[in-house]
Chain A
Amino acid sequence: MEFLAYMGDVFTPINFGLLLIGTIGGLILGATPGLSPTMAVALLIPFTFRLEPAQGLILLGAAYTSTVAGGAVSAILLKIPGAPANIATTLDGHTMAQKGQGARALQLSFLASAVGGVFGVLLLIFLTPVLAQWALAFGPSHLFWLAILGVTIIGSLDSSSVVKGLLSGCIGLWLATIGFDDIMGAQRFIFHDAVAGGINVIPALIGLFAIPQVITMFAKGRKRLDAEVIAVEKHPIGQAVGEVFRRKRALSIGTITGSIIGLIPGVGGQIAGLVAYDQTKKTSPEREKFGTGHSEGVIAAESANNAMVGPSLVPLLTLSIPGSPTAAVLLGGLLIHGIFPGSDLFDNYPDVAWTFINSMLIGQILMCIFGLYVAGLAARVAQVPNAVMAAVVLGLALFGSYSVQNSMGDVYVMMALGTGMYFLERFGFSAAPLVLGLILGPIAEANFIQGSMIANATSSMGEYFFSGTLNLVLIGIVVASIGYSLWMELRDKRYTTKDDAVLKEESLS
């Protein structure tokens, strides 16, 4: 209960002021396409030079928490996921916004984020030593199997056809291999200067989700617009609170999956939302409603991606190993003040450590309050005429993808992928599995190569990849996951007929 002793420090005027600035700033930065939480936190580092260590960390911690949640705003309203963490949110969230339920989607997403986030930080507070061992348990062979497990969810994600889902995933895996090979340094598939540095995930995300959106708006043409005025439904907050807690399955699966996956160094944050979405979908009796604006989808995805925030800092705070790029930036924020994370942090600077952790707890709640406040206003974005919306999203896509690393190459990749994706979508391919392939490809490949190098030096490949409890458990889940999909396919005829697909698309557009 040591953390309670330092709770008061969060509420001194300066600290609380910084917490507010960090939270509101984080929400704005998070809602800006192209600014991932990592970049947002890195941008704030210079401001912490002049602050006390605890104050600087409050600012960074609050910004981290709220950028992750803020990404849901553009994911829901514009269908541009701010970061990989928000991909799953677009699947049901944006559909809800199109139906005029943007306010409901945003309220659900902020409430679920807060529940997941608070749970994640509480895990960080109470179980840090246990979790630290867990985070270290994942070696190359386990991370490889974990990536393969991620691949198995590709087929069942937002696609009416398993084959096309898997094919989209393959295209993503291939795109991920473009550029320099991470370990050998060999050049692969560099057919144009713009991809010489590989395909950066953030511009790719913007292109794959936002550009098809823009072209779809073009497709509606000039005349049909008068007919389509979306009525934005008001949605009382009380009702949203009730709904979040009624959806216990989605909320608990999201929170628990997010916490566990978030802990794993190097994989966590990016796929927590997608895995939770997939698991919730598989266990839900209303699984056919997923993708059509179903509240469970939003709740699972958002509770997972904020639940991962707390545990993702465990390896950093206990072992001084940054488990994610964002944690690496936070490490920088600590180092400039001469504080080394690890036992040193909790022994010699408990005020800094606990004030930081407490501020993330309070930050989650502040984020939720501000988020709910803006939800009603932001939902009106759905009423913006199509022509304006298309132009705004196109402009944001340009600026957002350029700002990631000041590169025109990224902008060209964004537009090329986006235009291609629009046409692929018209023929039954979808963006979410493609992006998942893009994210998981490098993880699977690098860990496979490292694992096989270690295996060749010590034992055999078979022994290294197929023995040990954790390996076997992961392989078991992979097999079960594939088996489940096959079984569902035989039983339910997962292939929707063409007429169903037409109906579904009509209801969406």
Chain B
Amino acid sequence: MKKLLAAASIALMALTGGAFADGHASYPERPVMLMVSYGAGGATDFQARIVTMTAGNEDALGMPIAIINKPGAGGRVGWNWFATQADADGYTLGAYNVPHFIAQSIEGGVEYSTENFEPIANWGADPAVFVVAADSEFNSMEDVVNYAKENPGKLTFSGAGLFVGHHIAALQLEKAAGVKLAYIPNNKGGAGAMKAVIAGEVLGGVNNLSDAFRAREAGNVKILGVFDLERNEFLEDVPTMKEQGFDIDNASVNFRGVMVPKGTPQGIIDKLAETVPAMFENARVAKRMKAGGSPMHIMTRDEVLEMWKAREETLKELLAGL
């Protein structure tokens, strides 16, 4: 009888999840899902597909990662889903974009904040840049600001939406230069905002460095400044905002990485935090990312936790005036 009970309990344990017994050593046992809160083809989606392409290798997770897109309202739809409905079993990962989700949680009306998510690792950092059409009369940020001073509120410039990195950069520029600008958010993301600049619908625009780099290669835009602390390796010739006399830090830089919902077992978080940064460092991943003009910036879980915290403070201050 004892034997039978023991056998039954072992069978039960095997059924309900051997994971509890062996500390998640066998994780992952099936393919993993990565939720991207932007549409297929966007910069986040594109990079997520590249950095996860080696997930199936034995030295990484040993299981493939499938990308699921949940686009809408600047990422709010996807992150709301991730915070409230995603299973915290380690098989549902999500891609985060900082400062977007933090700024949105400060603004309110969403069901997530940094409290609801556990970061795993960061893969990229895409600074915002200021672009104007190739035939524009503006050749430096000074020209732009002077125009804005003469025509307060009439300098129209596009960006990917409200409470995303581009909007933060726009707010920082207004504050640092002491001028009033007309920020026009686009509902089609960075690509739509870039089209508005090239077509001359607006006088300028804030956009992603990677997209702006491509547009400049195609001869369609001039890049006047980078919203970051240092110049970028893709654009050695473009000065930072600070170099041009505007006190702007890297608060608008778009950090992209992987996270899991709060409540995911610690054993799984630890395992992911260990394997995922190594997966990002794969040489094939780096080659593809570089070819696509996407700057990489790998950070571990601890570094990301710190970055989230610092960013939250800066953004609270910046958005308090709105």
A residues contacting B by CB (< 8 A) are: 38-39, 42, 45-46, 49, 136-140, 179-187, 193, 196-198, 265-266, 315, 319-322, 325-332, 335-338, 340-344, 405-407, 442, 446, 450, 453-454, 456-458
Among B109, B154, B188, B201, point to the contact of A185 (Cβ < 8 A): B109
Task: Across the interface, name the chain B residue whose C-beta is closest to A43.
Answer: B40
Contact status B187-A446, CB under 8 Å: yes
Given contacts A315-B195, A450-B184, A457-B154, is CB(A198)–CB(B72) below 8 Å? yes
Chain B nearest Cβ from A143, distance in angstroms: 10
Report the Cα distance A343→B217, complex, angstroms. Answer: 8
Report the Cα distance A428→B317, complex, angstroms. Answer: 56
Looking at B117-125, B156-164, B296-304, the stretch in contact with chain A turns out to be B156-164
Report the Cα distance A67→B130, complex, angstroms. Answer: 38
Task: Across the interface, name the chain B residue whose C-beta is closest to A403.
Answer: B68
What residues of chain B lie closer than 8 Å to A453, measured between beta carbons?
156, 182, 184
Q: Does B6 lie at the interface of the complex (its beta carbon under 8 Å from any beta carbon of A)?
A: no
Residues B266-298 near A (CB distance < 8 A): 288, 290-293
Report the Cα distance A147→B22, complex, angstroms. Answer: 59
Chain A nearest Cβ from B67, distance in angstroms: 8
Contact status A338-B192, CB under 8 Å: no
Contact status A136-B198, CB under 8 Å: yes
Report the Cα distance A197→B77, complex, angstroms. Answer: 5
Contact status B220-A342, CB under 8 Å: yes
What residues of chain B lie closer than 8 Å to A186, measured between beta carbons?
109
Contact status B40-A39, CB under 8 Å: yes
The secondary structure that dominates the B interface is mixed
Task: Across the interface, name the chain B residue whose C-beta is closest to A41.
Answer: B40
What residues of chain B lie closer than 8 Å to A38, measured between beta carbons?
40-41
Contact status A182-B187, CB under 8 Å: yes
Chain B nearest Cβ from A114, distance in angstroms: 27
Contact status A336-B50, CB under 8 Å: yes
Given A338-B291, A342-B215; 4 other pairs, CB 8 A cutoff: A180-B76, A182-B161, A342-B219, A442-B187
Report the Cα distance A187→B104, complex, angstroms. Answer: 13
Q: Which 10 pairs, one residue from A and one from B, show the smallest C-beta to C-beta distance?
A: A328-B41, A342-B218, A338-B291, A180-B73, A457-B182, A335-B292, A197-B77, A446-B187, A136-B199, A329-B41
Report the Cα distance A197→B79, complex, angstroms. Answer: 10
Contact status B218-A406, CB under 8 Å: no
Report the Cα distance A329→B53, complex, angstroms. Answer: 16
Task: Across the interface, name the chain B residue whose C-beta is closest to A196.
Answer: B80
Chain A nearest Cβ from B208, distance in angstroms: 13
Task: Across the interface, name the chain A residue whose C-beta is closest to B162.
Answer: A185
Given contacts A442-B187, A450-B184, is CB(A320)–CB(B218) below 8 Å? yes
Chain A nearest Cβ from B79, distance in angstroms: 11
Given contacts A183-B185, A335-B292, is CB(A45)–CB(B49) below 8 Å? yes
Task: Across the interface, name the chain A residue whose C-beta is closest to B49.
Answer: A45
Chain B nearest Cβ from A395, distance in angstroms: 22
Report the Cα distance A329→B155, complex, angstroms. Answer: 32
Task: Across the interface, name the chain B residue whose C-beta is closest to A330.
Answer: B41
The 27 sampled A-B contact pairs (Cβ below 8 Å) are: A42-B41, A137-B199, A140-B201, A179-B72, A180-B72, A180-B77, A183-B162, A185-B73, A197-B80, A315-B195, A320-B220, A325-B39, A328-B191, A329-B41, A335-B46, A335-B291, A336-B46, A336-B50, A336-B292, A342-B219, A344-B218, A405-B68, A407-B81, A446-B188, A450-B187, A454-B184, A458-B154
Chain B nearest Cβ from A175, distance in angstroms: 14
Report the Cα distance A255→B49, complex, angstroms. Answer: 36
Contact status B217-A328, CB under 8 Å: no
Contact status A342-B291, CB under 8 Å: no
Task: Across the interface, name the chain A residue whose C-beta is closest to B50.
Answer: A336
What residues of chain B lie closer than 8 Å to A180, measured between beta carbons?
72-73, 76-77
Contact status A179-B73, CB under 8 Å: yes
What residues of chain B lie closer than 8 Å to A341, measured between beta carbons?
214, 218
Contact with A along B97-111 (1 / 0, CB 8 A): 000000010010100
Among B53, B161, B202, B218, point to the contact of A454 (Cβ < 8 A): B202
